[in-house]
């Protein structure tokens, strides 16, 4: 078995040392894995990604990254920071946070330049990434001139230009139109095939099967509720219901849980416009 | 599940009399101002992306040459030459695909504001003694305040008019050049061009980010006020409206702080360590050198002519 990229041991994190976000999480993430972290709003998914990216640090427990314990002091050292930042890329949920440079081109060049890559190499990477993601026409635009989907593409490009081994993606498909969403799913599949480790947070179970080979479910108590294959997780309706990922009424949308007609009568108050149960009312 | 009132038909709510609809006040004003700011930003970017004489020049060269002309204008004393330079800026505007009316309006909107108050006293013999051209009024007798002398007849003097015309001409030409520079250059390119003036990279990065997030926050302000407008039947007393504005200002400040933390995290995540590295700007082209020589000629020629018309 390969050495894990990340190894979390009893990791807990509380905002302002009082508000729990992550409670006693112990997981290992192997190189090349495509992992989806599934959970309801506020379950701690984004916090977990911030911890994995060394942007915040646990109140208790340890995170080991690439065989080294990840601490604030360690990331202050030039050598380890360079080592870690060139290997782990983070696509934030809100692209407006990530696109802080004046122009798209400068945005994509920012990461490789900070890591001290030669300028010729930076220019080649930026041009290649622009070309690969089909956004060359946007290179002279300012972030304010981009649509939501374009911002997401540029945000991904700005991380891919680092050529990270690990890609952390926070709710990557949120507020994307169907075409951009499909484009992103295809891109994630290709990056997985290329051997990248992809860690994605989502509360969208329809996405899980398409982008991951392993799923971790975070409960509303901020603990790991389950860890398994997409099939195992998605077919466990009771688990998904307990994690507040599906509602018992929200049934036939994905075909994973009970059908509306199976629901008890008192639970058919609002129902679905397309369901037979609703039509009969 | 839904309460009874929610199931009621809201069309039964009577339309209030027009006199009770209330003032639009600050909400409308804020929406208008935010929309105006965003529109201005877009107009500027549209002009800067047009094909034109100044748009084609490298921002660094443009910055230096515009500064050179402004410095030249500031040491000139002949109003004819100074107004000639102003005429030159109009030609540059036309050559840069800028509507003359739009350009003149933008420049003259500021000039009276800054210069009129300063220049009006200079017209009179109280400040600029000389040959009278028009008598304004008479005083009972003259006054002396230490070194200051106020004559009994207050007149506009020829020298005063000349000083005012020269001053306004200098301000008009300088403001026109500055407006030309900002209209024909993308804001971000202009910031990058500051590198030639040895402005530190980190400062330029911060300025660029400030501009970027000001636009984002203006969008937020616009959204907040439009959302308020969409749910407002009539505006309340001034006090409660002021409290609402204060609360939104507080919210915006908090949001700004949160954004700054998130942006800092996003920068750290991509290897930022406090020392910014940027791409080397592209090389200056032959076209830019030709423009430099042309501007040098204009500056030298007009200064020599100025000295001929108004000797030291």
Q: What is the per-residue DSSP string for B99-147? A: -HHHHHHHHHHHHHHHHHHHHHHHTBTTTS-S-EEEEEEE-SS-EEETT
Q: What is the mean pLDDT of chain A?
A: 86
Predicted pLDDT of residue A271: 33
Residue linked to tokens 């039509």: A279
Provide mean pLDDT across the span A81-102.
Answer: 92
- B91 has pLDDT over 90: yes
Contact between A100 and B270 (Cβ < 8 Å): no
For residue B25, what is the enclosing H or E element?
helix B25-48
Do B22 and B234 form a contact (C-beta atoms < 8 A)? Answer: yes
> For the segment B191-228, what is each residue's pLDDT rounded down to a tens digit?
889 988 888 888 888 888 888 898 889 888 888 888 88
Distance from CA of A250 to the nearest CA of B (A): 17
**A85 contacts in chain B (CB < 8 Å):** 269-271
A271-280, B107-116, B141-150, B267-276: the lowest-pLDDT one: A271-280
Instruction: For A129-194, give the DSSP string.
Output: HHHHTT-GGGTT--GGG--HHHHHHHHHHHHHTT--SEEEEESTTTT--HHHHHHHHHHHHHHHHT
Where residue B146 falls (left for φ over 0; alpha for ψ -120 to 50; beta otherwise) is left
Q: Residue A81: list chain B partners with CB under 8 A.
A: 271, 273
Phi, psi of A38 (to 5 degrees): -105, 135
What mean pLDDT do residues B88-109 have?
93
Task: Please list, residue by residue across B46-62, b when 16 or more beta carbons sit within 10 angstroms of its beta carbon and e when fewer do.
Answer: ebbeeebbbbebbbbbb
Reduced to 3 states (helix: H, G, I; strand: E, B; else coil), residue A124 is helix
pLDDT category of residue A241 using cuts at 50, 70 and 90: confident
pLDDT tens sequence across B221-244: 888 888 888 887 777 777 888 888
Average pLDDT over residues B257-275: 90
Stronger pLDDT, A269 or B183, i.e. the higher one: B183
Asked if B270's CB is within 8 angstroms of A162's CB, the reply is yes
Q: What is the SS3 assignment for A37?
A: strand
Nearest CA in chain A to B261: A97
Nearest-neighbour CA in chain B from A114: distance (Å) = 5
Helix (H, G, I), strand (E, B) or coil at B24: coil
Scanning chain A, the segments in alpha helix (DSSP H) are 45-52, 72-76, 78-85, 95-98, 104-114, 119-132, 148-160, 178-193, 205-211, 230-235, 237-242, 276-279
Whether B72 has a pLDDT exceeding 50, the answer reads: yes
The pTM for the full model equals: 0.78
Query: Cβ of A114 and B192 within 8 Å?
Result: no
What average pLDDT does chain B have? 86
Please name the residue that has the structure tokens 């993430």: A29
Q: Does A226 touch chain B (CB under 8 A)?
A: no
Average pLDDT over residues A179-203: 91
Residue B112: pLDDT band with limits 50, 70, 90: low
Beta carbons within 10 angstroms of residue B99's beta carbon: 12
Between residues B54 and B6, the one the model is more confident about: B54
Task: Give the pLDDT mean for A211-223.
Answer: 93
Buried b (16+ CB within 10 A) or exposed e, A209-224: bbbbebbbbbbeebbb
The region of weakest confidence among A155-159, A219-223, B14-18, B156-160 is B14-18
SS (H, E, C) B240-300: HHHHHHHHHHHHHHHHHHHHHHHHHHHHHHCCCCCCCCCCCCCCCCHHHHHHHHHHHHHHH
Asked if A143's CB is within 8 angstroms of B279's CB, the reply is: no
Instruction: Copy the structure tokens of residue A32.
Output: 């090349």
CB–CB of B266 and A92 under 8 A? yes
Query: What percentage of chain B carries pLDDT values higher than 70?
Result: 95
DSSP conformation class of B52 = -
Q: Which tens digits make up the pLDDT trace of A24-78? A: 999 999 999 999 999 988 999 999 999 999 999 999 999 999 999 999 999 989 8
Chain B, nearest residue to A94 by Cα: B262
Chain B: closest CA distance from residue A76 (Å): 9
More confident residue, A257 or A110: A110
Contacts of A113 in chain B (CB under 8 A): 277-279
Q: What is the pLDDT of residue B11?
A: 72
Percent above pLDDT 90 for chain A: 63
Q: Which of A92, A97, A119 sits opposite B280 (nearest CB)?
A: A119
- What pLDDT does B263 receive? 92
CA A39/CA B51 separation, integer angstroms: 52
Kindly give the pairing relationship between strand B143-145 and strand B148-150. antiparallel
Provide, as residue numbers in chain B, all residues whose Cβ is less than 8 Å from the Cβ of A143. 212
Identify the pLDDT of residue B19: 53
Conformational region of residue A246, where left means phi above 0, alpha means psi within -120 to 50, and beta covers everything else: beta
pLDDT at A178 over 70: yes
Residue at token pair 């001053």: B167
Q: Mean per-residue pLDDT for A124-153?
A: 91
Contacts of B31 (CB under 8 A, 6+ apart): B222, B225, B226, B229
Nearest CA among A139, A62, A53 for reference residue A90: A53
Give the tens place of pLDDT for each residue, A164-176: 999 999 999 887 8
Torsion of CA B44, B49, B51, B54, to 10 degrees: 60
pLDDT value at position A250?
Answer: 57
């Amino acid at each position: 078995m390969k050495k894990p990229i990340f190894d979390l041991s009893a990791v807990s994190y509380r905002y302002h040392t009082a508000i729990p976000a992550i409670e006693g999480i112990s997981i290992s993430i192997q190189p090349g894995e495509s992992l989806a972290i599934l959970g309801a709003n506020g379950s701690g998914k984004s916090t977990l990604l911030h911890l994995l990216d060394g942007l915040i640090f646990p109140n208790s427990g340890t995170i080991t990254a690439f065989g080294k314990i990840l601490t604030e002091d360690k990331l202050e050292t030039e050598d380890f920071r360079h080592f870690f930042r060139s290997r782990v890329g983070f696509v934030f949920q809100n692209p407006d946070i990530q696109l802080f440079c004046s122009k798209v081109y400068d945005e994509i060049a920012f990461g490789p330049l900070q890591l001290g890559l030669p300028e010729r190499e930076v220019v080649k990477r930026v041009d290649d990434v622009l070309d690969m993601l089909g956004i060359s026409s946007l290179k002279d635009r300012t972030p304010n001139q981009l649509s939501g989907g374009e911002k997401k593409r540029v945000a991904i490009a700005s991380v891919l230009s680092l050529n990270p081994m690990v890609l952390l993606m926070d709710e990557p498909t949120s507020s994307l139109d169907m075409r951009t969403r499909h484009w992103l799913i295809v891109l994630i599949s290709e990056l997985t095939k290329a051997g990248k480790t992809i860690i994605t947070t989502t509360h969208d179970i329809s996405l899980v099967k398409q982008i991951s080979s392993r799923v971790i479910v975070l409960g509303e108590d901020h603990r790991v509720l389950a860890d398994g294959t997409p099939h195992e997780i998605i077919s466990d309706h009771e688990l998904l219901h307990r994690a507040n990922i599906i509602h018992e009424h929200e049934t036939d949308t994905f075909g994973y849980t009970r059908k509306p007609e199976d629901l008890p009568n008192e639970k058919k108050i609002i129902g679905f416009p397309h369901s037979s149960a609703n039509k009969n009312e | 599940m839904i309460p009874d009132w929610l199931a009621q038909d809201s069309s039964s709510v009577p339309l209030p009399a027009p006199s009770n609809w209330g003032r639009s006040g600050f909400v409308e004003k804020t929406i208008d101002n935010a929309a105006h700011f965003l529109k201005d930003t877009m107009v500027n970017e549209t002009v800067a992306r047009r094909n034109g004489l100044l748009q084609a020049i490298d921002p660094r060269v443009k910055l230096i040459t515009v500064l050179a002309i402004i410095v030249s204008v500031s040491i000139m004393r002949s109003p004819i030459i100074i107004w000639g330079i102003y005429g030159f800026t109009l030609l540059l505007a036309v050559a840069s695909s800028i509507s003359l009316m739009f350009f003149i309006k933008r420049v003259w909107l500021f000039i009276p504001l800054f210069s009129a108050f300063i220049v009006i006293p200079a017209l009179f013999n109280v400040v600029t003694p000389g040959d009278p051209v028009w008598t304004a009024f008479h005083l009972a007798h003259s006054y002396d305040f230490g070194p200051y002398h106020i004559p009994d007849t207050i007149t506009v003097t020829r020298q005063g008019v000349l000083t005012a015309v020269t001053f306004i001409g200098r301000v008009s030409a300088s403001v026109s050049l500055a407006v030309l520079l900002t209209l024909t250059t993308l804001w971000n390119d202009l910031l990058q061009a500051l590198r030639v003036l040895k402005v530190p990279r980190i400062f330029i990065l911060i300025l660029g980010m400030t501009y970027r997030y000001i636009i984002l926050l203006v969008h937020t302000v616009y959204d907040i006020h439009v959302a308020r407008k969409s749910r407002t039947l009539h505006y309340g007393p001034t006090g409660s409206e002021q409290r609402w504005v204060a609360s939104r200002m507080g919210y915006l400040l908090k949001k700004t702080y949160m954004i700054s933390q998130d942006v800092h995290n996003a920068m750290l995540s991509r290897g930022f360590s406090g020392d910014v590295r940027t791409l080397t700007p592209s090389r200056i082209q032959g076209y830019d050198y030709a423009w430099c020589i042309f501007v040098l000629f204009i500056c030298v020629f007009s200064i020599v002519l100025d000295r001929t018309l108004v000797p030291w």
